[in-house]
Amino acid sequence: MKPSTLERLIDQLLEDEALTRGLPEAEAQELLTWLIALLEESEDEPEGAHVRALGKRVAKLAARHRVPVEELIELVELAWGDLPEPEGEDRPLSA
């Protein structure tokens, strides 16, 4: 992604107050940091809209159901295959 496009997308995330509405400051910062990292890793311009929509969904779930943003991020990354599967007895059941 071009640096100017990346900067514009990051600015849009940082200026979007609705994105982190209902989240404590620390969780809002964690969500924004993660979303910015996703943008920086992306090579496709259209990815920005998807990252923003994902952020809104994570924030909404966290605020509505009182689930820590960190846990939701871990679930998303696990679904994407970015995290190793848990080991031992705490391993989730698979279908």
Q: How many residues are recorded in the chain? A: 95
pTM of the complete model: 0.78
Q: Could you read off the pLDDT tens digit of each residue along the chain, which spans 95 residues? A: 566 888 999 999 999 999 999 999 999 999 999 999 999 887 766 578 889 999 999 999 999 999 999 999 999 999 988 555 566 655 554 44
* Lookup: tokens for 31: 């969500």
* Alpha-helix residue ranges (DSSP H) falling in the chain: 3-15, 25-41, 47-65, 69-80
C-beta of residue 49 within 8 angstroms of C-beta of residue 12: no
- Written as six digits, the tokens of 4 are 């100017």
Question: Nearest Cα to 80, choosing from 50, 45, 56, 49?
Answer: 50
Q: Which two tokens stand for residue 83?
A: 């995290």
Amino acid at residue number 89: E
Question: Residue 75 is encoded by which pair of tokens?
Answer: 């679930």
